[in-house]
Structure 1
Amino acid sequence: MENQRSHRLVLIPPPFQGHITPMLHLATILYSRGFSITLAHPHFNSPDPSNHPNFTFLPFFDGLAGTHISSNNLSNIVITLNATCASPLKELLVGELMKAKVKNEKIACIIYDSSMYFADSVARELKLPTILFQTTSASNLLTYHAFAPLHSKGYLPLRGSGSLDLVPGLDPLRFKDLSVFNLANLDALLQTNAKMLAVTPSLGIICNTVDFLEQPFLDQLRQLYQPSIVNFFAIGPLHMIAEESCSRSSSLLEEDYSCISWLNNQPKKSVLYVSLGSIASWEEKELSEVACGLANSMQRFLWVIRPGTINDVSEWEKSLPEEVKIAIAERGCIVKWVPQGKVLAHKAIGGFWSHCGWNSTLESLCEGVPIMCQPNFGDQRVNARLLSHVWRVGLEWSNIIEKGEIEGAIRRLMVSPEGKEMRQSALKLKQELRVAAIGGSSYDALNRMINNVLSANL
């Protein structure tokens, strides 16, 4: 293994929490298999190097100073990164190649996030092997390949009342589940999507998923990415594979561990964990409806209200009806951010009200926790559809942020026979995922990927 330390992998994430987290899990796994690791990353939203002392962190110029990430500007940020970062990355890699030569090391591969597709041409110019890392589900990746054909056949932009119609070739996904549904800047996204899909990494594509979980979609992807052109590796769930060698946080926000003490005092499977992830949020009026719905459901809850959602959480709490304040004091815990993996693994958690981001989806599945689905943008609607209609561990509800609707949905998930059935299905999936990660299909795919990298550097 120490011999392999002379092989250095350079991993390139974008500045988004949902992409940085799985990239660091992948880095942890590959470090445990003997590789040296460098994270080349944009200055903006940088990960904390002190949390990963075995890795080298190298920031590069990104043109994003002063940017605030929201669901409305993600596409623009990706466009800026790909327009701005090629020269800074090349300069950084040239410097690393010179250092590697002095140290008798070899840069064995560049592993870049799919949204950082400019990195492939930079690596090829420097004659370095490449692997593309897809952080969303395989199902979502397959929808990207469908956009251009759907557009050319007149399905997009969607007209009339066809939002509930099934997408041809993508059953059970509906048009409303696609990330392009109701998108204002459809043309810009289609152009960016085409550029991303035009890239052919030399050593393959890694997808953070599991064969049995998305088998029909993976079969279609493998037909698109024939092994003679590019290898496709389903290696996941990465956080589960990495957990034995990774105890440090990859969060960009400070995690509040006091919630674990609170959970320790709650009955088994009694708490609903509420979090919309690192980008999506509710407006203040909606927060009040959520608070009333949580209170009226009579269920215990751990609720994340992320910094910046509202100016002053304590002042907002004071404005709530008295019975809601009593419910929060008696059955609730409100925090700014949590160590999500530890929360979902806690015996007190019985359900997760989630935005259905892919990391949260996998983390919940791996702990056998059913999900109350509230997708917002991007891949989240695809994931919610899989949770509710394929794996049967997710609750599809109206998504109307009104206290009565919320109360009903929570009670369906937490105390109804329907929710109990989801919990049983989720526990079965948990066991199957562990088998795949520890010694099954994902373990085999990881070994194949590593062998590909080593073979390319003989």
Structure 2
Amino acid sequence: MARRHVLLVTFPAQGHINPSLQFAKRLIDMGIEVTFATSVYARRRMEKTAARDLPKGLSFAAFSDGYDDGFTMSDDPRKYMTEIRSRGAKTLKDTALSAAEQGHEIIASSNDPSWKLQLPGLLMLLSERDLPSFTLPNCSERYSFALTSFKEQLDALDVETKPKVLVNTFDSLEPDALKAIDKYELIGVGPLIPSAFLDGKDPSDTSFGGDLFQKSDDYIEWLNSKPESSVVYVSFGSLLRLPKAQMEEIAKGLLDSSRPFLWVIRANEKANEEKKEEDERLSCMEELEKVGRIVPWCSQLEVLTHSSLGCFVTHCGWNSTLESISCGVPVVAFPHWTDQGTNAKLIEDVWRTGVRVRADEDGVVESSEIRRCIEEAMDGGEKSRELRENAEKWKGLAREAVEENGSSNKNLKAFFDEVGAGF
């Protein structure tokens, strides 16, 4: 039988690249060849910041998305999605044809391993703030492309009969959601997290290997100097930029909590944005730097597994949500858009590992509310103990899922045994 070879196509954003690279590692460990396809810009950034951490045996097929110098927040996301669709398709077609000419039999799959469907599995009533933002009538036009993109994925799946969809979750975390859609077979293969932070089978596997940002190198020493379970970690992912008014409220909330904190605030990389960055400098920066550390980027899993960490203030992106669960960390849920509101609902009311902030009438979360949530997660009271106990429970179940006889490990092997029969 010919050696199995997978072409893994990944949207060029940090939240897609990380789990996809971890998925690639799992496949390589199973003896499967993997070609990793992403944009030219993302590939260049990975070579610059994370070349030594990339999985051995991984080959690349970079494609131009029309933004080889990178996508900025001032660019039109709808135009970008059109460009990446047309340009990327041509490159991937050429890659597949080249493989076919070399004698490889091609089996196509439109499934995206980072795609997630949770809503049908919720056994509770939902308010507007719990729904994915792109399904709401008041969704910003700037983000309306998301609904179109999801519909295209569903339309592609509907061409097949009972298609299999690999999902970055695990069976015990979302048993109802994985069974909720009769016409798809949703298969949990997660958490897709480096082994050193999960099952410990490979202590050298300490990085996803695909960082698009240069991380700081001194925050671990700072964390080492702090007492156990004392630090508040604040990060809103690789894409989200909050208004200055909201950043000021977060800053005041952190100062009022009187707890040490590590806050990720990404630096602008474009030279013409330096003036804007200066204008957005927080008014209380000097006070903040006396109490905590502000870094442009860090290894989130290193932080989440550090003994000094007390809670994680997060935007509730799926990767951050799953990482907090896998590391047993209580959460202050601070969702913004897409699936984040739904994830926050699960965190607070289903898995019960965190508390969710409430915004005021203008959509701003005030400093007093931020402080309240941090205290509820960390003050050692009954609620705080409940959150930590639940977080530890899910941490154990996440590790069980990726063990040799765990659900995710068995699911992945069964999938490729079945697919391999078609080669």
Q: TM-score, normalised by structure 1?
A: 0.78
Larger CA deviation: 434-443 vs 382-391: 434-443
**Structure 2 CA distance for partners of 1:433 and 1:75, relative to 1, 3 Å:** farther
Candidates 230, 251, 257, aligned match of 2:217: 257
**Structure 2 CA distance for partners of 1:428 and 1:332, relative to 1, 3 Å:** same
Alpha carbons 2:251, 2:288 under 8 Å: kept: no
Report the residue type matching 2:117 in the other structure: A
**Structure 2 CA distance for partners of 1:88 and 1:250, relative to 1, 3 Å:** closer
Alpha carbons 2:167, 2:190 under 8 Å: kept: yes
Candidates 87, 97, 107, aligned match of 1:128: 107
Q: Counterpart of 2:168?
A: 208
CA drift at 1:240:
5.3
Larger CA deviation: 89-98 vs 424-433: 89-98
Q: Counterpart of 1:348?
A: 308
Q: Which residues in structure 2 correspond to 1:128-207 (within 5 Å)?
A: 128-130=107-109, 132-139=111-118, 142=120, 171-179=124-132, 180-181=135-136, 182-185=138-141, 190-200=147-157, 204-207=164-167
C-alpha distance after superposition, 1:88-138 (max 9, x if no partner)? 22122222333x43xxxx36xxxxxxxxxxxxxxxxxxx533251242443
Candidates 389, 392, 395, aligned match of 2:349: 389
Runs of 4+ in 1 over 6 A off after TM superposition: 312-319
1:281 aligns with 2:227: no
**Structure 2 CA distance for partners of 1:252 and 1:319, relative to 1, 3 Å:** closer
Aligned with 1:302: secondary structure?
strand
Q: Counterpart of 1:150?
A: none
Larger CA deviation: 352-361 vs 389-398: 389-398
Report the residue type matching 2:416 in the other structure: I
Q: Counterpart of 1:412?
A: 376
Q: Counterpart of 1:42?
A: 39
Q: Counterpart of 2:192?
A: 238
Q: In structure 2, how many angstroms separate the alpha carbons of the residues matched to 1:76 and 1:314?
A: 26
CA drift at 1:453:
2.3
Report the residue type matching 1:328 in the other structure: E
**Structure 2 CA distance for partners of 1:72 and 1:395, relative to 1, 3 Å:** farther
**Structure 2 CA distance for partners of 1:437 and 1:172, relative to 1, 3 Å:** farther
Q: In structure 1, how many angstroms separate the alpha carbons of the residues matched to 2:250 and 2:226?
A: 21
**Identity level (%):** 29
Alpha carbons 2:357, 2:365 under 8 Å: kept: no
C-alpha distance after superposition, 1:358-390 (max 9, x if no partner)? 111111101110111111111111111100111
Q: TM-score, normalised by structure 2?
A: 0.84
Alpha carbons 2:215, 2:298 under 8 Å: kept: yes
Aligned with 2:165: secondary structure?
strand
Q: Which runs of 5+ in 1 are unaligned?
A: 108-126, 144-168, 226-230
Q: In structure 1, how many angstroms separate the alpha carbons of the residues matched to 2:297 and 2:113?
A: 26
**Structure 2 CA distance for partners of 1:97 and 1:242, relative to 1, 3 Å:** farther
Aligned with 1:293: secondary structure?
helix
Q: In structure 2, how many angstroms separate the alpha carbons of the residues matched to 1:435 and 1:71?
A: 43
Q: Counterpart of 2:417?
A: 451
Alpha carbons 1:131, 1:204 under 8 Å: kept: no
Q: Which residues in structure 2 correspond to 1:50-65 (within 5 Å)?
A: 50=51, 51-52=53-54, 53-65=56-68
**Structure 2 CA distance for partners of 1:413 and 1:442, relative to 1, 3 Å:** same
Report how many aligned residue pairs link the two structures.
395
CA drift at 1:241:
5.8
